Amino acid sequence: MATLNRHTRVDMEVVAAILRDVAATEILPRFRNLQSSDIREKNPGDLVTVADEASERVLTARLRDLLPGSIVVGEEACADDPALVRHLVHATEPAWIIDPVDGTHNFAHGKPVFGLLLALSQGGQATAGWIYDPVGERMAMVEAGEGAWMAGRRLTAKPAAPIPQMQGSLSTKFFAPEERQRLDRLRPHFANTYRLFCAAHDYLNLLTGVGQFAMYNRIMPWDHAAGTLAYAEAGGHVAKFDGAPYRAADVEGGLLMAPDPATWANLRDFIFPEK
């Protein structure tokens, strides 16, 4: 570990190896092997499985050992103690932000659209991130100022196109019902919109040229800290609905991503004409 460029750095490949190992030992053996007693609801419609809990527990221990003095903000720990997420705002020490199984609903129903999301942040800003698709064996890694990479290849955002030619993730799940219906009526105006119910795969789509935009109303750090940094480092434009910059500590304001600022503005005006 060394301090450089005002933030704590770690060996990116060592962290990637930890994610692969935890997926191999705690997650994949349980995929399509869950019993009903292995799944429960944290909140109505919000599932957690023994794989989520076990993988977060192991990741927490191993990441703390890797970076002594760091703190961990995990999705499942925050479900038990919501106040934990506030540590990201004021923490001076490096903080690991973990989504141990992103796309839990898919995972619990045997669908291979799930992944692990991990970010390292300092002062409320993500400085490094990892997005791992264990079924597809895809690992995207990003470090602030160093670009986003997968399998030795630098990743770049897919170039802009007119709205009728664009495809991406239009996530309407966490809007009020009337607004969700209005947004769903916009789908035919795009070439394609998809709902994967997995931020990890949404971001992998943005990073590999499948998607050109993504929108979310609910923004929790474990869902977006790693992916937003990766997309920005790939050349994409990331901002909250009001145009303000996104920080890993943010939990309100929505998120919109597009290939460049001009396309972002056009999309925001099209999706939210009254904002």
Of 234, 235, 189, 196, the residue nearest 214 (C-alpha): 196
Express each pLDDT in 129-165 by its tens digit. 999 999 999 999 999 999 999 999 999 999 999 999 9
- pLDDT of 3 over the 60 cut: no
Q: Which one, of 35, 121, 49, lies nearest residue 79 by Cα?
A: 49
* pLDDT band at residue 6 under the 50/70/90 scheme: low
- Beta strand 192-194 pairing with 167-170: parallel
Structure tokens that stand for 254 in this block? 């929505």
Name the residue type at position 62: R
Torsion angles phi and psi, residue 258, rounded to 5:
-155, 165
pTM for the model: 0.95
Domain residue ranges of the chain, discontinuous segments joined by +: 2-154, 163-271
pLDDT digits (tens, 9 = 90+) for 50-102: 999 999 999 999 999 999 999 999 999 998 888 888 878 877 899 999 999 99
User: Is the pLDDT reported for residue 181 higher than 70?
Assistant: yes
For the domain covering 163-271, report its CATH number.
Answer: 3.40.190.80
Q: How buried is residue 257: exposed, middle or buried, by Cβ count under 10 Å (0-12/13-18/19+)?
A: buried
2-154, what's its fold? Fructose-1,6-Bisphosphatase; Chain A, domain 1 (3.30.540)
pLDDT at 89: 80
- The answer, yes or no, to whether residue 27 has pLDDT greater than 50, is yes
Q: What is the mean pLDDT of residues 219-228?
A: 97
C-alpha 262: how far from chain center: 24
pLDDT of residue 4: 34
Structure confidence at residue 1 (pLDDT): 31
